Each structure stands twice: as C-alpha cells, then as structure tokens.
A and B are shown apart, each in its own frame.
Chain A
Amino acid sequence: MFYREAGDFKTSYKDDNQTFPIRLDRMGYYIVMFVAFCVVPFFVNDYWVNSVFAPFLIYAIAALGLNILTGYAGQVSLGTGGFMAVGAYAVYKLMVAFPDVSIVIHVLLAGGITAVVGVLFGLPSLRIKGFYLAVATLAAQFFLVWVFNKVPWFYNYSASGQINAPERSVFGVIVTGPNTEAWAKYMICLVFVVVLAWVARNLTRGMMGRKWMGIRDMDIAAEIIGVNPLMAKLTAFAVSSFFVGVAGALFFAVYLGAAEAGESFGIAKSFLILFMIIIGGLGSIFGSFAGAAFMVLLPVLLKNVLVGGLGWPTDLAAHLEFMVVGGLIVIFLILEPHGLAQLWRLTKEKLRLWPFPH
C-alpha cells in the first residue's frame, strides 16, 4: 500500500537510470544516510564502535571488494586475508615513512598497492577456473602472510614483529591511535564505506560491471561477443583488491591499532569474508552489507544473550555460537541459496503488491 511505484513517473533517462527508482527506496536511503551521519555519531560509545560499528563497516568494505570479484566477476577467491594484510602493512609503512601526509591518502595508496599485488596473484585466473582457482588463491594467502612475518623491513625491525599504528589526524581530529574518540573512529570508517559503496554500485552497473558479469556467466561466450577476458578478469582483481586493501588498512590503523600478520590476517579471515558475501548474497551491494552485519552482529548478540543474559559458562556459549552460526548458514542455504539480498528483494516484491496480492 505504501511501498509502490504507481504514480512515480519518470520523465527523463536520467530519472529512469537512477539507483533507487522507487521513491520510498530513495527516501529510505536518505533516512539511513541521515541517521548514519547525523544521529549515530552523537550516541556511540567505545563499546558500540569497537564491537559493532567499526568491524561492521570495515568488513562491509572487504565484502564489497570480494563481492566484486566473486559475485560479479565469478572468480572465487580465498586470498582475502592476505590482501588485507597487504593493505595493513602498506599503510603502516606509509604512515611511518611520511608522517606529514594525510592518513586518508595513505589508506587510498595502500589500496592501490594492494590492487597491484592483487593483479599479480590474479594472473593465474586466466588459466585456472572454479575450485582450482579458489585453492590457488590460498597460495597468495599463505605466501603473503609468511612474507610479512619473515621480512623484518615490513614491521620496521621491531622485536616481536607486531606493527603499531601511530597517532594521526584528519582535519585536526585524531582518527588513529588509542586517543581516538569513538565518533571519530566511526566517522572515518563511515565516510570510506559510503564513498566506496557508491563507487562499487556505479562500477557494477556500468560497462565494466557488465563485462564482469558476462565473464561470470560464461567466459567463452563473453569472449566471443567481444569482452576481453584478460582485461575483465584483471580489472576485477584490481578493483576488488583495492577495496580489500582499504579495508585492511582501516582494519589495522583505525580499528585494531596493532596487528600481526599471521594472527590478524590468517586464513580464517578469508573464509569469514567469503561467508559474508554468500550469506548476504552474491552479486549484490546490499548483500555485502547485510552479510557483514550478520556475521559481525550474530556472534556478539549470541554471546551477550547466552553469557550476559542467561549466565552460561563462556566455553559452552562459544561452542553453541559455532553451532548456531554453522546451522544458520546451512538453513539459509537450504531456504534461500541467494542470500539475504534475495530475501530482501522478495520482501519488497511482496510489499509492492500488499495488501492486494492478486
């Protein structure tokens, strides 16, 4: 009744092509933006930012990146953790080497460096496909982590191989280091997320995105109709790695503040982000957010309910958490293999017709 497109006339091509063609969607989007930028910053505290918002926003960027590669271009990657490590170590080296340059530039440069590394490891994708490629990207994962652990130059020869983010600020507001205010931490992540999501959305619906999807659906057929598979696959790797690199840089510099390659960027991270996009929905921007939210919030929620609410022993709660997350993944796949995004889409379809479904 309320959610409908009747009466919403488009009078120009521009209107017709906009991201949210339905007025209510558009309004919803503006409201979310308003709340995110103008309401949340005034109410967040350390706990909310460090346990919920910062990981959610940063994982959303990583999920966007992986979704471009896996969901849009069809190249399954299990090297995400390794690429995040590249972003983290790149931003660390840049921050230490050029303390006067803005951290925002460092983060973007770190993304660029990751993109180069990503292309390098993306080269085999021209020969190797499917699961073979997925396993091949694990080579990147393990090799990169090993390199960051082994070459002392990357961690500035510190005794333990840990890297620590020094204090940096944007417009006079501290955004890294221990003295960061909760809202500043939140805002810097949010700005990156919004800008990158906007870029991702427009890339994927433009020519590049269509090429990627052609490759995904059937690469030989796409090649015949004139898509250059080399360019398409490598751009997918580059763009995806850029996103993942930015996520890794923020993860280290803003969220954790200290990191160690093997522990923070291990294989578990690669799988976690893959879960996010599959649960959220492959080939969907909304899905990347939904998946990140699901995987970040669910464990925190379960833990608080079981340990904080019901007073369970922590180990039982942790075991149950594994069971619930695993069980939910299976149930989701059985009920809706295309993820939360598809669920959302179906809900909207139903709402459009509601309350007169026939």
Chain B
Amino acid sequence: MKFTKIAAASVTALMVATPVLADLVFPSLSYRTGPYAAGGIPYADGFADYFTLLNERDGGIGGVAIQVPECETAYNTEKGVECYESTKGQGALVYNPLSTGITYQLIPKVTADNIPLYTPGYGRTSAANGKVFSNVFNFPANYWNAASLAVNHLLEINGGDIKGKKIALVYHNSAYGKEPIRTLEGLAEKHGFELLAIPVDHPGQEQKAQWLQIRREKPDNVLMWGWGVMNQVAIQEAANIRFPMENFIGVWWSGGDHDVTPAGDKSNGYKAVTFHGVGDDYPVFGDIQKYVVDSGKAAGAGDNIGKAIYNRGVYAAMLLAEAAKTAQEIHGTADITAAQMRDGMEALEITEERMVELGMGGFGPSFTVSCENHGGPGTGAIQQWDAAAGSWKLISDFGGSDMDVIQPLIDADSAAYASENNITERCN
C-alpha cells in the first residue's frame, strides 16, 4: 500500500530528528519570509555566520562544535511556539527569537523549562530585572534605554535644554511600538518637552495621514519605533514633507540599511540609536569574509556584512558565544546544558581587552551581568546615514541612559509581573 508508506513516512517526519548530541545548539528562530523578512534576513545571517566562523576558525567553543538549526517563524507567534517546541528537544541552549510577540510567549515557557532567553534590544524591557525574570536576558540595552538615549542626544544638541520642545513619536501600533511610551512620558515630565504619540497600524504601508499631521503640528523632532515596511514608508514620507532628516531619530530597529535605501539621497542625515558599532571596519568581519563567505558557508549571499542589522546578529551571537564559554569555565565541562548556559549568561563579563581579542574592539560596551541586573549597562550611540557613501556613521560616543527614570519603571513593571505570577524575588 503506497498510502500507508506515505503515512508512515509522514509520521516519522513529524517526529523531529534529533541531532548528534554533544554539540552546542543555538537555535535561530528566524524569519526570512513574511512582512518583516527585510529585517529578519540580515539578522539571521549575521547570527549564523558568526557561529560558522567559530566552527571554522576555532573549532567551536571550547572544542565543542556549534550547531545553529534554523526555524522559520515568519514573525508569527504560533509558528514561534512550534519552533520553540520542536527545537527544545535538540538540547537548545538559548533562544533569540527577534520578535517581541514571540518573546512574550516564551518568557513563561523558558522559565518553566529552565532555558535562557536572550533578547538584546527587544522583548520585554522589564526583564532587565533579574530578580524577577530568572531566565530572560536583554543586555546590553533595551527599548527604554533607547528612548532615553534618543532624548539624551536631543539634550546634547540643544545645549541641555529641551523645555517646551515638541517631540513626536511615530510608533508601530503593537506591543513593540508601545513599549517606549511610558519612558518618554516620564522623560517629558522631567525635561519639560511635549510628547505627541502617533500610532501606525500594521503593516504601515499607508502613512499619509500621520505625516500630514506631523507637517501641521510641526514637532521639533520625530522619534520612530517602527519595524518592517513601516520604516521605509515613514522615511520616504518624511522626505516628502521635507521634514529635516537630522531631526528624525529611529530606534535601532528602524536603523537598518534597507530602511533608508529605498528613499535614496533624500534619506541623507537620518539618525538612529544603536547599541553596537557600525560598518565593517572590524577584524572580525575580515575573518567572516575569509573563513565563512569565501569558503561558501555563509547563511546568505554574503553581501550583508557590515550592514546594521547584520552586525547586530553578529554581536548577539558573539555575546552568546562568550556566555557559553563562561558557562564552560564555571561548570568545568565543555558540553554544557541549558541551565549551565543560564549561569554563564548571568556571570558574563565583557571587557575591552576581550573585545579586541575577538576582533571587535570598540564594537560594544564593556559590562558585567549580575543576578540582579540582566539588562547590561544600557549604553548606546547615535548613528547617522550618509546617503552618498551608503553607510552609517557614528556621530556620538557610547553614552549611558537616564536610569533615574527607567529603573523605577522597570521595578514597577517587573513587580506587577511577579505579583501576577506569584514569583518570589531571587538574588537575596
């Protein structure tokens, strides 16, 4: 019977094949299709390429080979859950889903399964409080840091006084886009500027009304929390109404190369917050070119190196690799488990010497993670788009954010989560 054969084959296919044990497994819940593919592709490429580099150049981490099984989520939470469940059994060490929605799904699940969840620059901001969120890490910076960094930049260029200024926030009308509002409200109160929140619904293909509103209201600055097509349209519309690009600041997820290129020269001067270095002028990218791209092992076409989102994928992979190494040292075994990985992440220490050693000197901040603080230093810089050169340039140093405003918000939000879910604080 042909049919039964197919059925049998299907059933075996449904049960996921387990990879060779004793490999370090870093699943990549990526999205290379769907409305947000433009951002998902370079990130997933960077994430995979760095681990491939470690395999090719160093023979893995601590002598153990690395696997990066990819699972397509299409930025969809259900597929994200499916991906989590299907890769969990393969000995996954840590998850990095690049989606705030999927992160919210996974926070309770990873805590129950004792697997760490790493959400650099996205996800649930209050997860920075390690006392409540034992398994979630979002170092080196989060959304609220980004909001504060953007405002700090405005303070800096306005000589420390933005009282009475009008600042508009154009945001993706979802969990992700709403995150910074509270921080910005707090900062508005502190610095005396007026905040104008303008939502854009998914997908953001049509933003004429929003930008006409901005044209009428004439805000001094516009901040943007966008993702996907919303970024490109917003930058295009801003150029159309001739809003001065240097007064337009995006969060790091609105600061990809593909976000500015469709608008051509008119996007020149657009700024974005970033928590890591820009460009490909770091030795590590030379290594990636040599060991990964030239030998045909790159995850993508290899033409994304040095682009903002690709760099972020590399940076996230690097921090995870360092955390895995820390875990190996703490537990004295090369073949670590997810729980040991969590300990490694909590004890992670990034120094400038180490960064130089890795070929990424000055790419990101030096910091240590502790039991209480899973959020890192919250530092970042401002990058500006140079359309003629077709690249981002850092125009400020890596500075800190206003923790006086952010910390109480983190404490309040995590306390609310703790009481909802009967979590007792750790680290005492």
Cβ–Cβ contact B13 & A47, under 8 A? no
Cβ–Cβ contact B175 & A162, under 8 A? yes
Cβ–Cβ contact B101 & A318, under 8 A? no
Contact among A257, A259, A305, A309 for B108, CB-based, below 8 A: A257
Q: Mark B198-212, 1 if CB is under 8 A from A, else 0.
A: 000110000000000
Minimum CB distance partner of A272 in chain B: B78
Minimum CB distance partner of B75 in chain A: A263
**How long is the Cα–Cα vector from A202 to B384 in the complex, in angstroms?**
66
Q: Mark B97-141, 1 if CB is under 8 A from A, else 0.
A: 000110011011101100000000000111000000000000000
Instruction: Answer whether residue B33 sits at the interface, using C-beta atoms and an 8 A cutoff.
Output: yes
Cβ–Cβ contact A256 & B176, under 8 A? no
Minimum CB distance partner of B11 in chain A: A301
**How long is the Cα–Cα vector from A260 to B178 in the complex, in angstroms?**
12
Cβ–Cβ contact A51 & B86, under 8 A? yes
Cβ–Cβ contact A317 & B72, under 8 A? yes
The tally of residues in A whose CB lies under 8 Å from a CB in B reads 43
Number of A-B pairs, beta carbon distance below 8 Å: 130
A contact residues around B32 at 8 Å (CB)? 313-315, 318
CB within 8 Å of A: which of B17-40? 17, 30, 32-33, 37
User: Whole-angstrom distance from the CB of B66 to the nearest CB of chain A?
Assistant: 17
CB within 8 Å of B: which of A229-270? 256-260, 262-264, 266
Minimum CB distance partner of B29 in chain A: A314
Q: Mark B55-79, 1 if CB is under 8 A from A, else 0.
A: 0000000000000001110101110
Cβ–Cβ contact B10 & A301, under 8 A? yes
Minimum CB distance partner of B37 in chain A: A315
CB within 8 Å of B: which of A151-190? 158-162, 164, 166-167, 177-179
**How long is the Cα–Cα vector from A55 to B82 in the complex, in angstroms?**
10
A contact residues around B33 at 8 Å (CB)? 315, 318-319, 322
Cβ–Cβ contact B421 & A318, under 8 A? no
Instruction: Answer whether residue A93 sits at the interface, using C-beta atoms and an 8 A cutoff.
Output: no
User: Whole-angstrom distance from the CB of B47 to the nearest CB of chain A?
Assistant: 13
Instruction: Answer whether residue A300 sits at the interface, using C-beta atoms and an 8 A cutoff.
Output: yes
The dominant DSSP class at the B interface is: helix
User: Whole-angstrom distance from the CB of A183 to the nearest CB of chain B?
Assistant: 15
B contact residues around A314 at 8 Å (CB)? 30, 32, 70-72
Interface size range of chain B in the complex: 35 or more
CB within 8 Å of B: which of A71-119? none
Greatest chain A CB density within 10 A among B108, B126, B176, B413 is at B108
Cβ–Cβ contact B108 & A177, under 8 A? yes
Instruction: Answer whether residue B404 sits at the interface, using C-beta atoms and an 8 A cutoff.
Output: no
Assuming the contacts A47-B89, A50-B85, A55-B78, asked whether A164 and B202 have C-beta atoms less than 8 A apart, the reply is: no
B contact residues around A159 at 8 Å (CB)? 125-126, 178-179, 181-182, 409, 413
Instruction: Answer whether residue A304 sits at the interface, using C-beta atoms and an 8 A cutoff.
Output: yes
Cβ–Cβ contact A258 & B14, under 8 A? no
Q: Mark A193-232, 1 if CB is under 8 A from B, else 0.
A: 0000000000000000000000000000000000000000
Contact among B86, B105, B413 for A256, CB-based, below 8 A: B105
A contact residues around B318 at 8 Å (CB)? none
Instruction: Answer whether residue B261 sits at the interface, using C-beta atoms and an 8 A cutoff.
Output: no
Greatest chain A CB density within 10 A among B84, B88, B105 is at B105
Cβ–Cβ contact B14 & A262, under 8 A? no
Cβ–Cβ contact B78 & A305, under 8 A? no
Q: Mark A286-319, 1 if CB is under 8 A from B, else 0.
A: 0000000000000011011101110001110111
Instruction: Answer whether residue A342 sits at the interface, using C-beta atoms and an 8 A cutoff.
Output: no
User: Whole-angstrom distance from the CB of B405 to the nearest CB of chain A?
Assistant: 14
Instruction: Answer whether residue B8 sits at the interface, using C-beta atoms and an 8 A cutoff.
Output: no
User: Whole-angstrom distance from the CB of A63 to the nearest CB of chain B?
Assistant: 16
Cβ–Cβ contact B77 & A47, under 8 A? no
Instruction: Answer whether residue B173 sits at the interface, using C-beta atoms and an 8 A cutoff.
Output: yes
Assuming the contacts A177-B108, A318-B32, asked whether A51 and B82 have C-beta atoms less than 8 A apart, the reply is: yes
A contact residues around B76 at 8 Å (CB)? 263
Cβ–Cβ contact A262 & B202, under 8 A? yes
B contact residues around A317 at 8 Å (CB)? 72
**How long is the Cα–Cα vector from A161 to B30 in the complex, in angstroms?**
24
Cβ–Cβ contact B78 & A256, under 8 A? yes
Contact among A149, A264, A305, A322 for B13, CB-based, below 8 A: A305
Instruction: Answer whether residue B16 sits at the interface, using C-beta atoms and an 8 A cutoff.
Output: yes
CB within 8 Å of B: which of A110-162? 146, 149, 158-162
A contact residues around B88 at 8 Å (CB)? 46-47
B contact residues around A162 at 8 Å (CB)? 101, 104, 175
Cβ–Cβ contact B16 & A256, under 8 A? no
**How long is the Cα–Cα vector from A52 to B16 in the complex, in angstroms?**
13
Cβ–Cβ contact A146 & B201, under 8 A? yes
Cβ–Cβ contact A164 & B174, under 8 A? no
**How long is the Cα–Cα vector from A301 to B82 in the complex, in angstroms?**
12
Minimum CB distance partner of B111 in chain A: A178
Cβ–Cβ contact A52 & B14, under 8 A? yes
A contact residues around B105 at 8 Å (CB)? 256-258
**How long is the Cα–Cα vector from A325 to B140 in the complex, in angstroms?**
41
User: Whole-angstrom distance from the CB of B191 to the nearest CB of chain A?
Assistant: 20
Cβ–Cβ contact B175 & A160, under 8 A? yes
**How long is the Cα–Cα vector from A303 to B111 in the complex, in angstroms?**
27
**How long is the Cα–Cα vector from A167 to B105 in the complex, in angstroms?**
14
Minimum CB distance partner of A54 in chain B: B81
Cβ–Cβ contact A309 & B70, under 8 A? no
Assuming the contacts A47-B86, A308-B16, asked whether A164 and B104 have C-beta atoms less than 8 A apart, the reply is: yes
Cβ–Cβ contact B71 & A256, under 8 A? no
B contact residues around A262 at 8 Å (CB)? 173-174, 201-202
Cβ–Cβ contact A160 & B16, under 8 A? no
Contact among B14, B126, B178 for A304, CB-based, below 8 A: B14
Cβ–Cβ contact A160 & B14, under 8 A? no
**How long is the Cα–Cα vector from A51 to B37 in the complex, in angstroms?**
23
Contact among B30, B111, B124, B175 for A260, CB-based, below 8 A: B175
Q: Mark B172-191, 1 if CB is under 8 A from A, else 0.
A: 01111011011000000000
28 sample A-B contacts, Cβ–Cβ < 8 Å, listed by A number: A46-B85, A50-B82, A51-B85, A55-B78, A159-B178, A159-B181, A159-B182, A159-B413, A164-B104, A166-B420, A167-B422, A256-B81, A257-B105, A258-B77, A262-B174, A262-B202, A263-B77, A264-B101, A266-B202, A301-B14, A303-B72, A305-B13, A307-B72, A308-B16, A309-B13, A314-B32, A315-B37, A317-B72
| Nearest 4 pairs of A and B residues by beta carbon | A315-B32, A178-B108, A160-B175, A178-B112
Residue ranges of B at the interface with A (Cβ–Cβ < 8 Å):
10, 13-14, 16-17, 30, 32-33, 37, 41, 70-72, 74, 76-78, 81-82, 84-86, 88-89, 100-101, 104-105, 107-109, 111-112, 124-126, 173-176, 178-179, 181-182, 201-202, 409, 413, 416-417, 420-422
Given contacts A179-B112, A263-B101, 6 further A-B contacts (CB under 8 A): A47-B16, A159-B179, A162-B104, A164-B421, A256-B105, A313-B32
Residue ranges of A at the interface with B (Cβ–Cβ < 8 Å):
46-47, 50-52, 55, 146, 149, 158-162, 164, 166-167, 177-179, 256-260, 262-264, 266, 300-301, 303-305, 307-309, 313-315, 317-319, 322
